Amino acid sequence: MLVGRRLERLEAQSKSCAAQGVETLAVAADLGTADGIRAVIAETESTEVGLYFGAAGYGSAGSFCDLPIDDELSMIDVNCRALTALAHPLARQMRARGRGGLILMSSIVGFQGVPHSANYAATKAYVQSLAEGLALELKPDDVDVLASAPGPVATGFARRADMAMSGAAEPATIAHETLAALGRRSTVRPGTQSKLLGYGLGALPRALRSRILGQVMRGMTKHRDG
Ligand SMILES: NC(=O)c1ccc[n+]([C@@H]2O[C@H](COP(=O)([O-])OP(=O)(O)OC[C@H]3O[C@@H](n4cnc5c(N)ncnc54)[C@H](OP(=O)(O)O)[C@@H]3O)[C@@H](O)[C@H]2O)c1
């Protein structure tokens, strides 16, 4: 089941999956709305879902006071509310069956506060914490839960957030490393930048990590200064 707002994109993806012998169902829904969440849950009720990939989300960068508040609140709805609303019925389904997996997309920014992307980082801290807790809670039921915390990835993310990323990882690298980690640990840092930043900054005090990532984030919005 492929979920997003743009049906034509989902249908193109469905076609490419079909060419590889994988049957899919395209479900167009806005996960920023209660109706959209309900529509997706309704589709899963008659389907045995083996793996939930909680990836739908977006970010922003810039001064919190200058960012439009509606977009920031909607980000909480999509990144946190919808992800949780979908994880709940699917985890129940998997627990009853005694197997399954949840992969929740976190980020390197989710391990400390990050100036110039404070709300986005906070949504990822929520996802990271939720995954860590659920990983232990659902382990006795043989349901694997994984937080995937990449650094910059070359997707549509940067365009939507108006960020300029350098050295972004390829999505396929992130997907492969993430799937390989499922069932083996509760957090993976896929991609080179995530590992370098994660392990490099890991030993530093949280406040210092915030300052450093704030500088990194500031660098990603420098192009706006002209
Ligand atoms: N790219 C990075 O550098 C990076 C780094 C760390 C973590 N992440 C996380 O990785 C996840 C995937 O992002 P991405 O990099 O693949 O970005 P992306 O290319 O912009 O993809 C985001 C996906 O989420 C869907 N989506 C967004 N808003 C939605 C809504 N309201 N309702 C339903 N679907 C919605 C989009 O489909 P539609 O637009 O068609 O709705 C799209 O398929 C996100 O949670 C992001 O926070 C990304």
CATH code (residue 83): 3.40.50.720
Q: If you measure from the C-alpha of residue 140 to the centroid of ligand 1, how many angstroms do you get, rounded to a whole number?
A: 31
Q: Of all atoms in ligand 1, which is nearest to the CA of residue 6?
A: 40
Is residue 115, in this structure, part of any structural domain at all? yes
One-letter identity of residue 88: H
Q: How many Å apart are CA 158 and CA 26, to the nearest integer? A: 24
Task: Read off the pLDDT of each residue in 68-86 and give the average, rounded to a whole number.
Answer: 98
Q: If you measure from the C-alpha of residue 82 to the centroid of ligand 1, how many angstroms do you get, rounded to a whole number?
A: 13
Is residue 59, in this structure, part of any structural domain at all? yes
Predicted confidence (pLDDT) per residue in 105-131, tens digit:
999 999 999 999 999 999 999 999 999
Is residue 43, in this structure, part of any structural domain at all? no
Residue 43 corresponds to which tokens in the numbers above? 């589709």
**Strands, sheet with 143-148, edge to edge from the N-terminal-most edge strand:** 51-54, 100-105, 143-148, 187-188
Is residue 134, in this structure, part of any structural domain at all? yes
Beta bridge partners of 188: 148
- Give the chain's domain count: 1
Residues 113 and 210: beta-carbon distance below 8 Å? yes
Go through 203-216 and write b for each residue having 16 or more CB atoms within 10 A of its CB, e for each that does not: eeeeeebbeebbeb
Predicted confidence (pLDDT) per residue in 144-184, tens digit:
999 999 999 999 999 999 999 988 999 999 999 999 999 99
Q: How many Å apart are CA 188 and CA 68, to the nearest integer? A: 32
Domain that holds residue 98: 49-225
With a Cβ cut-off of 6 Å, ligand 1 is lined by 4-6, 9, 30-32, 55-59, 78, 105, 107, 150, 152-153, 155-157, 160
Task: Read off the pLDDT of each residue in 58-74 and give the average, rounded to a whole number.
Answer: 97
